[in-house]
Amino acid sequence: MVKLFKMAHRFFLKTEERTFTDQDAPDWLTSKNSIRGSTMDNRWFWNEHVMTLNVGQSVETDFHVITRVE
């Protein structure tokens, strides 16, 4: 089952919301192209916080609010 998310910027409210699935999420969020264990490795956040969201729940990063849509 594919999970659908929407992401909105916390400060630049005129920035358009972006939708993505667990299959095409931004690289900075999944860290699929970073070195495991590096300071830019956000796999822990993706796996433990974003992927565990139930429909309607949200999580905040420094700059975005990510909400699971379905």
Of 31, 19, 28, the residue nearest 66 (C-alpha): 19
Number of domains in the chain: 1
Phi, psi of 26 (to 5 degrees): -60, 145
Which tops the pLDDT comparison, 51 or 36? 51
Tokens of 32: 């699929």
Q: How much is the pLDDT for 14?
A: 78
Tell me the residue range of the domain where 18 lies: 4-68
Look up the pTM and report it. 0.85
User: Residue holding tokens 């939708």?
Assistant: 19
Q: How much is the pLDDT for 9?
A: 93
Distance CA(29)–CA(45), nearest Å, equals 8
